[in-house]
Amino acid sequence: MAYKENYPSKLLEEAVDAISSLPGVGRRSALRLALHLLKQPQENVHHFTAAIDHLRDEVKYCRHCMMISDDDVCSICSDKARDHMTICVVESVRDVMSIENTGQYHGVYHVLGGIISPINGIGPSDLTIRELVARVAGLVSPEALFEAEGQGGAQAEVILALSGDVEGETTSFYIYRQIAQYGVKVSSLARGLGFGDDLEYADELTLGRSIVNRQIFRP
């Protein structure tokens, strides 16, 4: 049955409009949430909205890896103990959090901010691929290699940790074509993940295994 909407108040209707714009929240759930917020103390509601405004207004992105950060450089990129010659390329902030939770990875990241998806109008230029290429070029510069020698001569590596669906594979292939010229090692996650599995929903064991058993990218 269609749910006719005769809101008793314009304010309520506008709040429901706003809340139902969130992904996965229908108008009925939005009404429930709006009425819940209405019952809360005023300062709690202000705290709620202020937390969201602060996030949107004040969040920064690490200038190296594009990760959400409170500073110009994120805690991972500024960690000297991590392997800065290994860059793990992921789609989103959530993927970084998921991989960090496995405790299996000690390199740095690069957050693309999305995935190449013609159907959604997302092309390579909408992602941080140019920045990634510049980072890879920097990794193989004479200075960087000299510094790495001092650390035991680690080889630069790019891990393509994207989803196993068509869009993920397309994006991996596109990035591979862009960075192959620099002679870095390019690997992708071991497919312990099922095809079509979403990275963020994988359990830590599977995801951790996928990182340890990453394989040379052969397009």
| Residues at the site binding a copy of itself, with contacts judged by CB under 8 A | 1, 3-4, 6-12, 14-15, 17-19, 21-24, 29, 31-38, 40, 42, 44-60, 67-70, 74-76, 92-94, 96-97, 100-101, 203-204
Give me the amino acid identity at 137: A
Helices (H), 78-197: 93-102, 129-139, 142-150, 166-179
Nearest Cα to Cα of residue 202 among 165, 168, 163: 163
Nearest distance, CB of residue 81 and a copy of itself, angstroms: 16
CB of 87 to a copy of itself, least distance (A): 16
CA distances from 172 to 86, 92, 102, 136, 218 (A): 16, 14, 22, 15, 11
Report the alpha-carbon distance of residue 117 to residue 128 in Å, rounded.
Answer: 14
Q: Output the smallest distance, CB 176 to a copy of itself, in A.
A: 26
- Give the C-alpha distances (Å, rounded to integers) separating 205 from 99, 146, 185, 188, 201: 11, 36, 25, 17, 12
Residue type, 73: V
Shortest CB 94 distance to a copy of itself, Å: 6
For a copy of itself, which is the closer residue by CB, 94 or 191?
94
Give how far the C-alpha of residue 22 lies from the chain's centroid of Cα atoms, to the nearest Å.
19
Give the nearer residue to a copy of itself in terms of CB position, either 55 or 177. Answer: 55
Q: Least distance (Å) from a copy of itself to the CB of residue 169?
A: 23
Between residues 8 and 142, which has the closer beta carbon with respect to a copy of itself?
A: 8
Nearer to a copy of itself, 55 or 181 (CB): 55
Q: Which residue from 77, 129, 112, 80 is spatially nearest to 199, judged by alpha carbons?
A: 112
Report the residue number, 23 or 150, with the smaller CB distance to a copy of itself: 23
